[in-house]
Structure 1
Amino acid sequence: MKTILAYIFFLLCIGNVFSQTNAIPRVYEIWDDKPAPNRGSDYAIKKARGYPYDEDWELKSYPIGNGYMGANLFGRTDTERIQLTEKTLANEGLYGIGGLTSFAEINLDFGHQNPENYRRSVNINEAIAYVNYNYKGVEYTRTHFISYPDNVLVIKLSANKKGKVTFKLRPEIPYLRDSTEINTRSGKMVAQNDLITMSGFINHFSINYEGQIKVINEGGELSTNQKDGRSEIIVKNADSVILLIAAGTNYKLSESVFNEEINNQKLDSSVFPHEKVTALINSATIKRFEKLKADHLSDYQNLFSRVELNFNSEVPKGTTNELLESYKSKVTSHYLEELMFHYGRYLLISTSRKGALPCGLQGVWSQYEVTPFTGGFWHNINVQMNYWGAFNTNLAETFTPYVEFHEAYRSKANSLATEYLKKNNPQAINNDSTDNGWTIGTGTTPHKIVGPGGHSGPGTGALTSKMFWDYYEFTMDTTFLREKAYPALLGMSKFLSKTLVPVGDDLLLVNPSASPEQKHDGGNYITAGTTFDQELVWENHNDLLKASAVLNLNDDAFLEVVKHQITKLDPIIVGKSGQVKEFREEEFYGEIGQKKHRHISHLCALYPGTLINSTTKEWMDASIVTLDLRGNNTTGWAMAHRMNLRARTKDGEQAHKVYTKFIKERTLPNLWTTHPPFQIDGNFGCMAGVAEMLLQSHEGYIEPLAALPGAWKDGEYRGLVARGSFEISAVWKHSKAVSFEITSNKGGVCRIKYPGIDNIILKDDSGEIIPYVIENSDVIHFKTIKIGRYFIVFK
Structure 2
Amino acid sequence: MKGIFLSILLFLSTLSIQGAESNKEYTLWYNRPAYNRGGNFSQIAARGFPYDEDWEKWSLPIGNGAMGVCIFGRTDVERIQLAEKTMGNKGAYGMGGFTNFAEIYLDIHHNYAQDYKRALRLNDAISTVNYKHEEIEYDREYFASYPANIIAVKLKASQPGKVSFTLRPVLPYLHSFNDEQTGRSGQAHAEKDLITLKGEIQYFHLPYEGQIKVVNYGGTLSCSNKGENNSTIDISKADSVILYISAATSYQLKDSVFLLPNAEKFKGNTHPHKQVSECIGRAVEKGYEVLRKEHIADYQQLFNRVNFQLTEDIPSIPTDKLLYQYRNGKRDAYLEELFFQYGRYLLIASSRQGSLPPNLQGAWNQYEFAPWSGGYWHNVNVQMNYWPVFNTNLTELFIPYADYNEAFRKAATQKAVDYITQNNPEALNPIAEENGWTIGTGATAFAIEGPGGHSGPGTGGFTTKLFWDYYDFTRDKQLLKDHVYPALMGMAKFLSKTLKPQPDGTLLVDPSFSPEQVHQQVYYRSKGCIFDQSMILETYRDLLHAAEILKDKDPFLKTVKEQIEKLDAILIGESGQIKEFREENKYGEIGQYQHRHISQLCAMYPGTIINADTPEWLEAAKVTLKERGDKSTGWAMAHRQNLWARAKNGNRAYKLYQNILTYGTLENLWGSHPPFQIDANFGATAGIAEMLLQSHEGYIEPLPAIPDNWDKGSFSGLMARGNFQVSATWENGAIQSIRILSNKGELCRIKYCKAASAQVTDKYNKPIKIKLSGNDIFEFNTRKGEIYEIIF
Shorter-chain TM-score category?
Answer: over 0.9
User: Matches of 2:280 and 2:219 in 1, distance apart?
Assistant: 22
Asked if 2 retains the 8 angstrom alpha-carbon contact of 1:129 and 1:143, the reply is: yes
Unaligned runs of 5+ in 2: 1-15
Structure 1, residues 258-311: CA drift from partner, whole Å, max 9, x if none? 011x21221116741111100000010101011100110111000000000001
User: Matches of 2:320 and 2:701 in 1, distance apart?
Assistant: 35
Q: Tell me which residue corresponds to 2:356.
A: 357
Asked if 2 retains the 8 angstrom alpha-carbon contact of 1:101 and 1:367, the reply is: yes
User: Matches of 1:203 and 1:20 in 2, distance apart?
Assistant: 52
User: Matches of 2:758 and 2:158 in 1, distance apart?
Assistant: 57
Which amino acid letter does the alignment assign opposite residue 621 of structure 2? S
Q: Tell me which residue corresponds to 1:6.
A: none
User: Matches of 1:130 and 1:551 in 2, distance apart?
Assistant: 51
Q: Tell me which residue corresponds to 2:523.
A: 524
User: Matches of 1:20 and 1:749 in 2, distance apart?
Assistant: 19
Q: Tell me which residue corresponds to 1:325.
A: 324
Superposed counterparts of 1:350-499, under 5 Å? 350-499=349-498
User: Matches of 2:674 and 2:630 in 1, distance apart?
Assistant: 15
User: Matches of 1:776 and 1:515 in 2, distance apart?
Assistant: 37
Q: How many percent of aligned residue pairs carry the same amino acid?
A: 52
Asked if 1 retains the 8 angstrom alpha-carbon contact of 2:92 and 2:372, the reply is: yes
Q: Tell me which residue corresponds to 2:581.
A: 583
Measure how far apart 1:755 and its partner are.
Answer: 0.7
Measure how far apart 1:765 and its partner are.
Answer: 1.0
User: Matches of 1:415 and 1:616 in 2, distance apart?
Assistant: 38
Asked if 1 retains the 8 angstrom alpha-carbon contact of 2:70 and 2:81, the reply is: yes
Measure how far apart 1:22 and its partner are.
Answer: 6.6
Q: Tell me which residue corresponds to 2:506.
A: 507
| Secondary structure, counterpart of 1:88 in structure 2 | strand
Which amino acid letter does the alignment assign opposite residue 655 of structure 1? A
Which amino acid letter does the alignment assign opposite residue 290 of structure 1? E
Asked if 2 retains the 8 angstrom alpha-carbon contact of 1:758 and 1:777, the reply is: no
Q: Tell me which residue corresponds to 1:69.
A: 67
Q: Tell me which residue corresponds to 2:205.
A: 206
In 2 relative to 1, CA 575–504 (structure 1 residues): closer, same or farther, beyond 3 Å? same
Asked if 1 retains the 8 angstrom alpha-carbon contact of 2:115 and 2:131, the reply is: yes
More displaced stretch, 226-235 vs 779-788: 226-235
Measure how far apart 1:761 and its partner are.
Answer: 2.1
Q: Tell me which residue corresponds to 1:125.
A: 123
Structure 1, residues 581-629: CA drift from partner, whole Å, max 9, x if none? 1000111111111111100000000000000001111100000000011
Measure how far apart 1:45 and its partner are.
Answer: 2.3
User: Matches of 2:35 and 2:112 in 1, distance apart?
Assistant: 14
| Secondary structure, counterpart of 2:769 in structure 1 | coil
In 2 relative to 1, CA 258–19 (structure 1 residues): closer, same or farther, beyond 3 Å? closer
Asked if 1 retains the 8 angstrom alpha-carbon contact of 2:20 and 2:304, the reply is: no
More displaced stretch, 182-191 vs 389-398: 182-191
Pair 1:164 & 2:162 matched: yes
Measure how far apart 1:337 and its partner are.
Answer: 1.1
Measure how far apart 1:182 and its partner are.
Answer: 5.4
Structure 1, residues 696-739: CA drift from partner, whole Å, max 9, x if none? 00000000001000111100000000000000000000110000
| Secondary structure, counterpart of 1:784 in structure 2 | coil
Residue of structure 2 aligned with 1:649, choices 641, 644, 647 = 647
Which amino acid letter does the alignment assign opposite residue 430 of structure 1? N
Q: Tell me which residue corresponds to 2:337.
A: 338
Measure how far apart 1:133 and its partner are.
Answer: 0.8
- Cα RMSD between the aligned structures? 1.4
Structure 1, residues 379-425: CA drift from partner, whole Å, max 9, x if none? 00000000011000000111100010011100000011011000000
Q: Tell me which residue corresponds to 1:314.
A: 313
Asked if 1 retains the 8 angstrom alpha-carbon contact of 2:20 and 2:717, the reply is: no
Structure 1, residues 110-130: CA drift from partner, whole Å, max 9, x if none? 111211111000000101000
Structure 1, residues 328-364: CA drift from partner, whole Å, max 9, x if none? 1113322211111000000000000100001110000
| Secondary structure, counterpart of 1:597 in structure 2 | coil
Structure 1, residues 397-456: CA drift from partner, whole Å, max 9, x if none? 111000100111000000110110000000001111111000000110011001000100
Structure 1, residues 217-267: CA drift from partner, whole Å, max 9, x if none? 11111101111331100011111111000000011111111011x212211
Measure how far apart 1:138 and its partner are.
Answer: 1.3
| Secondary structure, counterpart of 2:165 in structure 1 | strand
Asked if 1 retains the 8 angstrom alpha-carbon contact of 2:20 and 2:307, the reply is: no
Structure 1, residues 150-198: CA drift from partner, whole Å, max 9, x if none? 0010001111211111111000000001123652111001100100000
Q: Tell me which residue corresponds to 1:143.
A: 141
User: Matches of 2:346 and 2:20 in 1, distance apart?
Assistant: 24
Structure 1, residues 42-81: CA drift from partner, whole Å, max 9, x if none? 3442221241321100000000001100000000001100
Q: Tell me which residue corresponds to 2:190.
A: 191
Unaligned runs of 5+ in 1: 1-17
Q: Tell me which residue corresponds to 1:86.
A: 84
Asked if 1 retains the 8 angstrom alpha-carbon contact of 2:185 and 2:200, the reply is: yes
User: Matches of 2:17 and 2:707 in 1, distance apart?
Assistant: 25
In 2 relative to 1, CA 635–515 (structure 1 residues): closer, same or farther, beyond 3 Å? same
Asked if 1 retains the 8 angstrom alpha-carbon contact of 2:49 and 2:368, the reply is: yes
TM-score (norm 1): 0.96
| Secondary structure, counterpart of 2:756 in structure 1 | coil
Q: Tell me which residue corresponds to 1:624.
A: 622
TM-score (norm 2): 0.97
In 2 relative to 1, CA 22–65 (structure 1 residues): closer, same or farther, beyond 3 Å? closer
Residue of structure 2 aligned with 1:774, choices 772, 775, 781 = 772
Q: Tell me which residue corresponds to 2:26.
A: 28
In 2 relative to 1, CA 725–272 (structure 1 residues): closer, same or farther, beyond 3 Å? same
In 2 relative to 1, CA 660–503 (structure 1 residues): closer, same or farther, beyond 3 Å? same
In 2 relative to 1, CA 477–492 (structure 1 residues): closer, same or farther, beyond 3 Å? same
User: Matches of 1:500 and 1:339 in 2, distance apart?
Assistant: 46
User: Matches of 1:269 and 1:434 in 2, distance apart?
Assistant: 28
Measure how far apart 1:41 and its partner are.
Answer: 1.6
User: Matches of 1:443 and 1:46 in 2, distance apart?
Assistant: 22
Which amino acid letter does the alignment assign opposite residue 543 of structure 1? D
Asked if 2 retains the 8 angstrom alpha-carbon contact of 1:28 and 1:339, the reply is: yes
Q: Tell me which residue corresponds to 1:96.
A: 94
Q: Tell me which residue corresponds to 1:682.
A: 680
